[in-house]
Structure 1
Amino acid sequence: MSCLTACAVGPNYRTPQISLIPFHNVSKTAFSISSSENAVSWWKSFHDTELDKIESRVLTQNLDLKAAYARVLQGRAIARSAAAQMLPTLDFSPQVSATRLSEEGLIGHIVREIPHFNRDYREYNVGGVASWELDIAGGLRRAHEAARDEFQAAEAEGDGTRLSLAAEAADTYLRIRGDQARLRIARDVFTSNQKMMDLIRQRRSRNVADDRELSSATVVVEAARQNMIDIEKDEETQSNRLDVLMGTQPGTYAVELRIYAELPAVPAPSANAQPLEVLRRRPDVIASERRLAASNARIGEALANYYPKISLQGALGFESMSPQQLFTAPGFQPTATGALRWRIFDFGKISSDVSRARGSYAEALASYQATMLRAAEDVEDAFFHLSQTRQAIASQMHNVEALHHAAALTWQSYTAGTLALNDALQANITLLNAQDRLASMRAEEDRAAVECFRALGGGWQS
């Protein structure tokens, strides 16, 4: 019997072998590719105390994360229930019944002629019933394997929710800091444009400038004002979104973020190891692989229905018509039962179930392979975006440096009386617009680093 119960029908699961070439965009970041020292709390690589505080709130207060953890608990309960199916069950069922026998029934017709026959009687029954299905073909074990694998998939999906929320919170925070940096520059641009318009208005009053110049200056001023409004709107939108991510009403933590702070330095996302190692620590890949394993186990669960099922049942109890005689040797009533059930013909139902299970496995395999490819795509795109942003920043910094030098020379010419104030202000506005573009790029670089952490599965304990 132990030999029979040790085997299980169906294919034993093996992780599919997938060959991937090395990432071709990771090296473009020129970052060290050593192992990440803080894979779980990857946001601490930014060394920003406000970001650390936000992430702590998100991971303890976010409602979507709480719902994901609740799904993990459900999966654990289902796995435990599947494991319990392989073990015996014991039921305790005491019973008392009171009966009045019908005189018109079969027994009543026989005994009603007996003198002093009492139609009323009571029966007392105390006992327990134990039952156990012998898992000869391993169907119950395969069902437990599937439930366990699906529970592990739910755990991975919970980790994926955690990673996504942490990355979204970091991205939102960095957008806010970028908006704040841009808003400072936008106000300087607005002030410079306002000064230029005032200058043109004065020249217009002396008939030195015409209405066309004044109208053009007004358009530039209003465009600068609209730019400030757009940046303020985006900052408010992101602040509200961040409060919701932290599980609070919008506006709860807005005061804390109104205090200006520089954008944090860009950390170095780490992608050491081979692509297969990197991608297999991503929560979505883990969840897909575990669901593939569950689909494999479901094949064995379906195949087990081809084999006979043996169940054992035993009952120990006492039965008596009198409470005084209940727990006595004559009242003792043991029962043992063995049953065999073997499906002989079912119009192809089992075959259909097996085919469906194999089809589900084929679907899960294709889904797993596609998930791996999409994960590789995410890594390549994220690191390419980061490398391109860094190149754009380097170019823009040279541009800002040149414009700063040009603005200084223009201002010197103005103070020397060889250049009009209009030209000096225009050079300053051009410089401020370039600085605004640079501030936007720096925020984009930080956000690209966050996307790299997300693509690498950072935030999940491997």
Structure 2
Amino acid sequence: MERAKWFLATLLSLTMAGCTVGPDYTEPGIELGQQYENQQGWVRAQPNAAALRADWWTLFDDPVLNGLMDEVLVNNQTIAQFEAQYQQAQALLRESEAQFFPSVNANAGFTRSGSGAEGVSQQYRVAGTVSWEPDLWGRIRRTVEAESAQLQASEAELAGTRLSVQSTLAQTYFRLRSFDAELRLYEQTVEAYRRSLQTTENRLNAGVAAQLDVESARVQLNNALTQQQALRRQRAQLENAMAVLLGKPPSQFSLPSEPVSVAVPSIPAGLPSELLQRRPDIASAERQVAAANAQIGVAQSAWFPNLTLTAEGGYRAGQWAQWLSAPFSFWSLGPALAMTIFDGGAREARIEQARAGYEAQVAVYRQTVLTALREVEDYLVDLNSLAREQQSQQRALDAARASLRLTLNQYNAGLIDYLSVVQVETTALAAERASLSLSADRLIAAVQLIAALGGGWQQPIPAEVRE
């Protein structure tokens, strides 16, 4: 018995001092640049400046949008799917960590057997077994390391899904509000065109206008009615898309039309290096690299023998009354080593597979970073360009309105025909629609930039895990 205790103590010491095969993880390097190329005119984040908030949509100061964002986090089914996958990753990690502990099993049975010489015999048996595999080579530790990294990757994927759904909802909302504004414009325009048609018909009856003027006014009115109907169709489709995002059937969701006035907020772009901590997709890709690195150690541990300690004890007897009596007890204790001698190169192939998987994940990580940098640059370009476009479009709109007033005065004075009025009114209407569309484009580009910057998300991975 003393030898057994000494043997167990020695094995425990070896386990505690056991090595961990496989490469230790270091985060892959990538060139990021010192600043964004298209950051001119935007806020450069300072060391003490407030970063984007997690509730970034409140920057737009729209109560309806705020309420929709609260609802989408609860009811969106894509978010629910990734929440379930995150819980699955948590369970997988707990399953891997359970390998550090011994397994305890119990069994009981009754057998009855016989032979021609000895007759019939029976046996009652109850026993318990304890089995433990010391992690001498770090296989379990590397497995837990991989599952822990996968859990962190799943957490980042969940954050990325939430950000993507929120961004899509905000973009859909602003586009829908743009259509609302265009529909109000068309309501006024159609009413003005009806009056113009009536006026032109009266002038025809009075003999001061031609039939061509009446037909031109009628064509103009019907074209406006057609475009108005097209806008209603597009708005209904956007409303249906919002219903699905909110986890509702389209028939159970309606967003009333109302005028809104939303300004483009100031967005601190920060530095390219901050994207590594702000973007959930980058964090997820980096954690996938860490998991792939740990899998190399798991594969390499197959070269070493597995040590299993097993202890068993119980009672067995031929009669029920003697089943649990001390003389009929039994026990056993001992180690077992198992090692594969020849497998035709299977272990080496698995190691090469793990290394190739690691290289693939490194490439995915670097591509994810490059894509993130491109997205930020693209949306900075969009916002800078759209701001200038809106300024020039406003000047064009002012000129179109002035031109329309002059043209109507000339028509009322009988100096020009109605066809000239139609041309100027068409130009003015296009300028009005372009101005409304540019306002929505700027808001949508702001949402896209916020999402590209990570939407205020911060990487929760502790520093000691990343070292």
* Partners of 2:322 and 2:89 in 1: CA distance: 49
Task: Report the alpha carbon displacement of residue 58 of structure 1 after superposing the two structures with TM.
Answer: 0.5
* Partners of 1:141 and 1:359 in 2: CA distance: 21
1:350-369 mapped onto 2 (5 Å cutoff): 350-369=347-366
Letter of the structure 1 residue corresponding to residue 305 of structure 2: P
In structure 2, list runs of 5 or more residues that go unmatched: 1-10, 460-467
| 2:262 equivalent to 1:268 | no
Determine what percentage of the aligned residue pairs are the same residue. Answer: 30
Task: Report the alpha carbon displacement of residue 325 of structure 1 after superposing the two structures with TM.
Answer: 2.8
Task: Report the alpha carbon displacement of residue 303 of structure 1 after superposing the two structures with TM.
Answer: 0.5
* Partners of 2:431 and 2:321 in 1: CA distance: 100
Map Cα deviations across residues 260-295 of structure 1 (whole Å, 9 max, x no partner): 0314221122222x3122244211111111111111
1:10-21 mapped onto 2 (5 Å cutoff): 10-21=22-33
Tell me the residue number matched to 2:61. Answer: 47
Task: Report the alpha carbon displacement of residue 318 of structure 1 after superposing the two structures with TM.
Answer: 2.0
Task: Report the alpha carbon displacement of residue 330 of structure 1 after superposing the two structures with TM.
Answer: 1.2
* Partners of 1:372 and 1:443 in 2: CA distance: 28
Map Cα deviations across residues 183-218 of structure 1 (whole Å, 9 max, x no partner): 111222223333333344344445654454444433
| 2:55 equivalent to 1:58 | no
- Root-mean-square deviation (CA, aligned residues, Å) is 2.4
* Partners of 1:442 and 1:222 in 2: CA distance: 27
Confirm or deny: 8 A CA contact 2:103 2:130 kept in the other structure: yes
Letter of the structure 2 residue corresponding to residue 347 of structure 1: G
Tell me the residue number matched to 1:30. Answer: 42
Query: Which sits farther off after the overlay, 22-31 or 368-377?
Result: 22-31
Tell me the residue number matched to 1:102. Answer: 115
Tell me the residue number matched to 2:7. Answer: none
1:343-354 mapped onto 2 (5 Å cutoff): 343-354=340-351
* Partners of 2:211 and 2:36 in 1: CA distance: 57
Give the SS at the match of 1:145.
Answer: helix
Tell me the residue number matched to 2:162. Answer: 162
Among 16, 19, 22, which residue is 1:7 paired with?
Answer: 19
Confirm or deny: 8 A CA contact 1:189 1:429 kept in the other structure: no
Confirm or deny: 8 A CA contact 1:13 1:293 kept in the other structure: yes
Tell me the residue number matched to 1:439. Answer: 436
Task: Report the alpha carbon displacement of residue 146 of structure 1 after superposing the two structures with TM.
Answer: 1.1
Letter of the structure 1 residue corresponding to residue 149 of structure 2: D
Tell me the residue number matched to 2:128. Answer: 128
1:205-284 mapped onto 2 (5 Å cutoff): 205=205, 208-254=208-254, 257-272=255-270, 274-284=271-281
Task: Report the alpha carbon displacement of residue 160 of structure 1 after superposing the two structures with TM.
Answer: 1.1
Among 363, 366, 371, which residue is 2:368 paired with?
Answer: 371
* Partners of 2:175 and 2:147 in 1: CA distance: 41
Change in CA separation of 1:131 and 1:3 when aligned onto 2, cut-off 3 Å = closer
Map Cα deviations across residues 298-327 of structure 1 (whole Å, 9 max, x no partner): 111000001111111111222223343333
Letter of the structure 2 residue corresponding to residue 97 of structure 1: F
Confirm or deny: 8 A CA contact 2:376 2:452 kept in the other structure: yes
Tell me the residue number matched to 1:115. Answer: none
Give the SS at the match of 1:247.
Answer: coil
Give the SS at the match of 2:363.
Answer: helix
Map Cα deviations across residues 361-414 of structure 1 (whole Å, 9 max, x no partner): 111111111111111111111111111111111111222233344445556677
Task: Report the alpha carbon displacement of residue 101 of structure 1 after superposing the two structures with TM.
Answer: 1.3
* Partners of 1:386 and 1:11 in 2: CA distance: 45
Confirm or deny: 8 A CA contact 1:311 1:338 kept in the other structure: yes
How many residue pairs align between the two structures?
A: 444
Letter of the structure 2 residue corresponding to residue 30 of structure 1: W
Query: Which sits farther off after the overlay, 327-336 or 379-388?
Result: 327-336
Change in CA separation of 1:187 and 1:9 when aligned onto 2, cut-off 3 Å = same
TM-score (norm 1): 0.89
Query: Which sits farther off after the overlay, 390-399 or 425-434?
Result: 425-434
In structure 1, list runs of 5 or more residues that go unmatched: 104-108, 113-118
Give the SS at the match of 1:130.
Answer: strand
Give the SS at the match of 1:388.
Answer: helix
Task: Report the alpha carbon displacement of residue 22 of structure 1 after superposing the two structures with TM.
Answer: 3.5
Letter of the structure 2 residue corresponding to residue 42 of structure 1: W
